[in-house]
Chains A and B, each alone.
Chain A
């Protein structure tokens, strides 16, 4: 195979941030390509700075390179200037580790964390010289594989992807390697054989092995084409995170990237049960990493990388059993070895959490971020983010009184049953927060960031009709007017981009043609606001004869076959539907880690258990733990969502 570096190098003098394309990170490898090894190119289809820190990709990079029968390299989407240079010079997409052509790899794998990067996948395939549609690929082309949270609704990308991995990838990449290796040894005959073989691996979904039949606009049936292809593909779950202490050699980039620090995943999965949160729903159950292993990974990681900051990552790190002890221990151990900072992303909203934060941040107390997500207690019960106003005020009081000056609050906009008093509740909370802050410092400021809600597959809100662009815009204006001269700043996400995300998020196979049209019209890097144009999406929908509102703003009925119903995250459909009804009644649901099981289906069906060191809820973390919260049945009021049948 050829090394493209001599052809890449001359282009780098003409592009911004040329170091995006050189590799050479500490921890990176230059694996030798041998015919006996299955070669993987792991691509994060966004810029290098966003893609490099991706932990999923780094974990698989190590696991595959530890195998005798596999090797893995990395790739990222070249920025627009580099793409233009590459196309002009006829240089195909390459790996950053050894600058091999992407098309030379056996497996061309993408990690997808957000729908708006879908068009970048097509751009990467095309730039590699690989046909974008799987039906056009021949045996010599790589197998195109997709993993990550977006794989839980694979259908919009079904035309372009040979196989999806549903769930945790640690184990399944080995199984795929073996199947692909055998195919290579047998002389790489027709693709259909290897695809059918891949379809029998648990957790692997091969869309071309399924026929979809429609009844008008609706799906009538999704049927496997062969008897050995499963009707339903269940997600893979790593039962014990302690067996997978990866990444062991976290990459240290040469240029600045997002999350530019040591990242140690302290647990996977979350059972807080926030109804809007796909990540929480599809990664159940909670699997904590043993505290001793966390300590070791932090110490080894800092020593190996030279980083001066470490983040303990998870979906809600303050919920880690004994988090206070762990943090105190880490802070003490780091003292004297050169100002190492510890950060906890995804903080819970309460005073206990602020206590931990102040333990960590002895200096540099500038900003703290909380995500109450909803403006009123009622709406927070609807979305099951069970934070009371008092929880928030106590957290904020703690923050300002201990020296923080800026508080940032995240909110969702356009969740089910939301009324204007809920929207204005955001402004009310922001004003109260500023008021609390001003007691302590004149410099106190608060920012409310609102993002339009996009319903996701495998959540109780998968049946909900998203707010229209106009409705979200109206709510933004409502808030903006209400917050004038309040001392609080409002930031919002473009409702047009939220709408496009809605098309891709709950789309079916017919959306593939739409994605292809958007890409052909030049719509790459769609999550970058300067490159996003909603009309490209609307034009593509019109050209395909599809009604975008049918996909985005329509409430789904109980008996409708959803495009992802043949993909299983372990959550019973009955559980999700009941939880949806509970949401509409503004009933909260406690966290099953510390309260009796309500049988969502994951543990029972997959013979899994929570792996938590402590059976009692964290001190002060009252929300959703069954500790003296009145679940507001009395709060039930008439709301503007109706359950309909088709």
Chain B
């Protein structure tokens, strides 16, 4: 997507609070309008229906929050990436602050192909919406990680298939730093991938209270980071393809 003379930029933003209910497509439109409002020089595709040259990372499900969303956008002229956040945050929907921006190297690989790993913080609840004891979660997590395979059934285009989820799960931890224990999922994205819902279903078979499954449901999910693994190193996407040394702005 990147032309020879453009100025490619990667932007990191969050999606917290009420705005988590808008779709990935809505996010794209909000960002495009924010660039227009700030009169930032978007580059457009040629042809009958010119579109701005933008590309996104892994789509976030409607209802999930994130501290680590990324957008690659091509501008026609250089801009000061250090002040992009100051420009964009006030004209973006509340809960969608821009938390960093870098100029990209020419012809950086597309985000979708580069991202190898994502992390989520998931507040789980039982079938009745009540928090689940930390010990139950810990047992479920260690049993799931110890399993050779975690089979789930997925329906795709009307056909059912049984897939093994285990290769897509790098790690599951239980954090106790908040009011309720939360699951920290580290998932690999390049193979089949795993949805949070599927991971919870797999965990549920190990989450027993008095011998009964608790009925793990997702109460709230936050994507905390996305990573690019390259040459054995795990890189934050702003660092991975930056043209110049990274200058981050603080989250607002």
- Shortest CB–CB separation between residue A5 and chain B, in angstroms? 8
The answer to whether A13 touches B44, judged by C-beta atoms less than 8 angstroms apart, is no
A31 within 8 A of B: no
The answer for the CA separation of A254 and B28 in the assembled complex, in Å, is 10
Interface size class of A (residues with CB under 8 A): 20 to 34
A364 within 8 A of B: yes
- Shortest CB–CB separation between residue A515 and chain B, in angstroms? 33
Known contacts being A22-B18, A252-B33, A254-B19, is A13 close to B91, with CB within 8 Å? no
- Shortest CB–CB separation between residue A519 and chain B, in angstroms? 29
The answer for the CA separation of A19 and B22 in the assembled complex, in Å, is 5
Write out the residue numbers on chain A whose beta carbons fall within 8 Å of the beta carbon of B34. Answer: 306
Contact residues, B9-33 vs A (CB, 8 A): 18-19, 21-23, 25-26, 29-30, 32-33
The answer to whether B33 touches A254, judged by C-beta atoms less than 8 angstroms apart, is no
The answer to whether B30 touches A254, judged by C-beta atoms less than 8 angstroms apart, is yes
Known contacts being A12-B63, A255-B26, A308-B36, is A24 close to B49, with CB within 8 Å? no
Among residues of A, the one whose C-beta sits closest to the C-beta of B52 is A338
Known contacts being A22-B21, A24-B18, is A254 close to B26, with CB within 8 Å? yes
The answer to whether A303 touches B37, judged by C-beta atoms less than 8 angstroms apart, is yes
Per-residue interface assignment for chain A, residues 301 to 335, with 1 indicating a CB less than 8 Å from any chain B CB and 0 otherwise: 00111111000000000000000000000000000
Q: Which of B33, B50, B63 contacts A305 (CB 8 A)?
A: B33
The answer for the CA separation of A152 and B23 in the assembled complex, in Å, is 40
Write out the residue numbers on chain A whose beta carbons fall within 8 Å of the beta carbon of B63. Answer: 12-13, 18
Write out the residue numbers on chain B whose beta carbons fall within 8 Å of the beta carbon of A5. Answer: 18
The SS class assigned to the A binding surface is loop
The answer for the CA separation of A245 and B31 in the assembled complex, in Å, is 28
- Shortest CB–CB separation between residue B225 and chain A, in angstroms? 23
- Shortest CB–CB separation between residue A305 and chain B, in angstroms? 7
Count A-B contacts at CB 8 Å: 62
B185 within 8 A of A: no
Per-residue interface assignment for chain A, residues 336 to 363, with 1 indicating a CB less than 8 Å from any chain B CB and 0 otherwise: 0111000000000000000000000001
The answer to whether B93 touches A307, judged by C-beta atoms less than 8 angstroms apart, is no
Q: Which of A18, A23, A304, A363 contacts B48 (CB 8 A)?
A: A363
- Shortest CB–CB separation between residue B90 and chain A, in angstroms? 11
The answer for the CA separation of A254 and B19 in the assembled complex, in Å, is 9
The answer to whether B33 touches A307, judged by C-beta atoms less than 8 angstroms apart, is yes
The answer to whether A339 touches B19, judged by C-beta atoms less than 8 angstroms apart, is no
- Please indicate which of the listed interface residues A23, A254, A308 has the most CB atoms of chain B within 10 Å of its own CB: A254
Give 6 new A-B contacts, CB below 8 A, not counting A338-B42, A363-B50: A23-B18, A255-B23, A256-B29, A305-B33, A306-B36, A339-B50
- Which are the 9 A-B pairs with shortest beta-carbon distances? A306-B33, A306-B36, A18-B21, A306-B37, A22-B18, A19-B21, A19-B22, A254-B22, A339-B50
- Chain A residues near B (Cβ < 8 Å): 5, 12-13, 18-19, 21-24, 26, 252, 254-256, 303-308, 337-339, 363-364
- Give me 23 A-to-B residue pairs in the complex whose CB atoms sit less than 8 angstroms apart, sorted by A's number: A13-B63, A19-B21, A19-B26, A19-B62, A22-B21, A22-B22, A24-B93, A24-B94, A26-B33, A26-B91, A254-B19, A255-B23, A256-B29, A303-B37, A304-B37, A305-B33, A306-B32, A306-B33, A306-B37, A307-B33, A307-B36, A308-B36, A338-B44
